[in-house]
Structure 1
Amino acid sequence: MADIYIHFAHSWLWLVVAALLAFGFSAFAYRSTTPPVRNWLRFVLISLRGAGLFLLVILLFGPVVTVTRHFTVPPAIAVLIDGSKSMSVRDEAASKTRAGITKEILQNRVWEEIEKHASVKPFLFGERLSRLSSLSSDSISFNGPVTDLANAFRTLRTDERIENLKWVVLISDGAVNEGENPLYDAERLGVPVSVVAVGDSNEPKDVSLLHVVTNSIAYAGAKLPVDVTLRCSGYDNANLQVALRDERGSLLDRQLLATRGDG
């Protein structure tokens, strides 16, 4: 839909006066002709000259034509999907992994109803935020090394491709392990943020290898010290056996470690 407005540098009253003068002068100029012409032809000549003079006056008045077009931009809903490795964990009380539960959520027919009234913009986040072509589970991978939710909110706020953002839906296990507190960046979005919690936000029962430190040079027949740092979650006061093997899988050494709570 378009609205057209015409503005003049002077008052409309002067334009009316100019129109009367233009047609009055034309009538005066054609009050008599040589040779004489019929009345209808004289009327045509008066009208043409009057219209020409009036258009000239309009141009002298400096008209400004403003065309306003109206577009309806549908509300946008950003769907932030956690793509970190922690989504591949299956919680003890669940029959599927967190990623599997997420895929079921995205396949729900409720999204078809939402897309009838809004523009759904799916994103995958982990270390950084990336745009997805659709909510199809085939385009989603859960292999991100970290979860930086604050950066996801910050990137979404500065994305100029999203027009009329009205709502954010966050699908995540809540295991944020990188970046600042996401609450501040979520508030700066200025729109509601709905959270769909998937799985347990606590770390699963697991043992991970953080650091291995040893000498860069080794001598045949000499013992080589190896310092290992482990991180334990869910193993409180437990005995863990750590084995060191070579590239062929042969056992080189083993040691029994006693844990003292998580850490």
Structure 2
Amino acid sequence: MKTQIYMTKTKAYQDLGTTNLLESLVKRTNNFLYGLCYKKHITQKQYEKLKVNKEEVELAHLCFLPKVHKPNTPLRPIMAGLKSPTIGISKWLDGLLRPLFDRLASETTILNGVQLIKQVERWSATYLTAATSFITMDVTDLYTMISQEGRVTALKRLIEASGLKQIDGVKKAIILVLTRFIMTNNYFYLDGSYYKKIREGAMGSPLIITITNAYMYFVERPISKWANRTCSLYYRYIDDLFIMSNVHADILKGFVKF
């Protein structure tokens, strides 16, 4: 029941019935890659690495994990697509782009709880008082609320902010074309039916995680600048935001409505 409610609410899934589209997706992916190689947008070596062997792939499966730590136990959609026809492209692009994000966002992004605790201890040694406010925020449905074009724009800004025109010999425009292909060819199986994800990204895809982080990096710039101006502490882990501040609580109440 919760699964159907979630899928209806987000309007991100198109029911394709019981026809398995794996073969057509494999063919479309290989034709797409061959076209890029033929036009010398990617190398022969890159093409050989990314092309799909139809005997080794299957459509992704969608599953939902309950968020037991939240009221009403909402669901988190996870796309299990380790054998998806587009997973090779996703992993390859993620390998190119994630280092760019890691360098750009190192001052506001944390990788785990231990890292956050160390930053809290460091900040507290100078600024902690009896009036310090602790604030946590959560971005609702992060992976389904960002449009596909919004993600592409974030990726474009990430590359531009890094001062690069190409990565591993691949031009920015081609990276964006590859990204769009992944997002517009997102098929999966669930409870006897096949679906296409027609909006946003899918949690579980390596590239989508990096793009989502990039999107949030640009969204959170005003918060980060505010934290620097007010000697506050701000960090984010994917969709969880953490703030420590000595700014008056009434001001913070208005701020967290951002």
**What's the TM-score once normalised by structure 2's chain length?**
0.24
Q: Which has the higher contact order (CA 8 A, sep 6+)?
A: 2
The structure that has the greater radius of gyration is: 1
